Amino acid sequence: MKSVKKRHRYYRGVVVATGFLAVAAINPLHTAVAAERSATQRVDDAAITAQVKTRLLADEVTRSININVDTEAGVVTLRGTAPTAEAKAKAEQVAKSVEGVQVVANSLIVGDSSMNPQTVTAKAKEVAEEGEHAAGDAWITTKVKAQLLADSDIKGLDINVSTKDGVVTLAGMVPSKMVRDKAISIAKGVKGVKSVNSDALKAK
């Protein structure tokens, strides 16, 4: 009888131990999959950045402009100084033509690239600061749109996004209160957003 009890405890211990081993085996697998996806996204973003830079250098209008290109989750951000508004618009057009680009945040400032903070006049500094602030709102708007497009429940919906002084305004019609709340939550989660005005975002 004692022998039977010992065997029972032994088998139960084996089952428990096997369960722990199974859990331990699953967790590293999930970690590896997540790491692989993250690595794949970084490779895709790097490839998009390289393609955008290549096309900017190949274009007659933008080849002489020193443009910094960054890509995150398919969102391309352009920074630098463009000599004209037309050149700025052309750079954005070129970036949008690259496969895999979701949206383009055009933060190029129109002006003389030879100017620097030590030599510009007080008026020029004020203009530069205003341009930088506007670019920040534009970046937030672009980022919020990209996050909404990436969500499976929201990507097909027509939601208008605008930003002023870090305050994001959402407008449009969504199928349910749950989707409305999700859109608001996504917008609030974007870096730089101070608050979200959702009065014009209605649920059916």
pLDDT recorded at residue 116: 39
Tokens of 103: 């949206």
Between the CA of residue 12 and those of 5, 9, 99, 167, what are the distances in Å? Answer: 11, 5, 56, 59
pLDDT tens per residue, range 67-106: 899 998 889 999 988 899 999 999 999 999 999 899 999 9
Phi, psi of 83 (to 5 degrees): -70, -30
Closest CA to 157 of 99, 203, 89: 203
Burial zone of 115 (CB within 10 Å; 0-12 exposed, 13-18 middle, 19+ buried): middle
What pLDDT digit, counting tens, does each position of 108-151 carry?
A: 998 865 553 433 444 445 455 445 554 478 888 888 888 888 88
Residue ranges of the domains in the chain? 1-107, 115-204
C-alpha closest to that of 189 among 150, 159, 147, 135: 147
Which tens digits make up the pLDDT trace of 26-78?
A: 455 555 445 555 556 666 788 888 889 888 988 899 988 888 999 988 899 99
115-204 and 1-107 share a CATH fold: no
| pLDDT over threshold 80, residue 21 | no
Q: Which two tokens stand for residue 133?
A: 């602030």
User: What's the confidence (pLDDT) of residue 191?
Assistant: 84
CATH number of the domain located at residue range(s) 1-107 in this protein: 3.30.300
In this prediction the pTM is: 0.43
CATH number for the domain running over 115-204: 3.30.1340.30
Residues recorded for the chain? 204
Burial 119-142 (b: 16+ CB within 10 A, else e): eeeeeeeeebeebeeebebebbbb
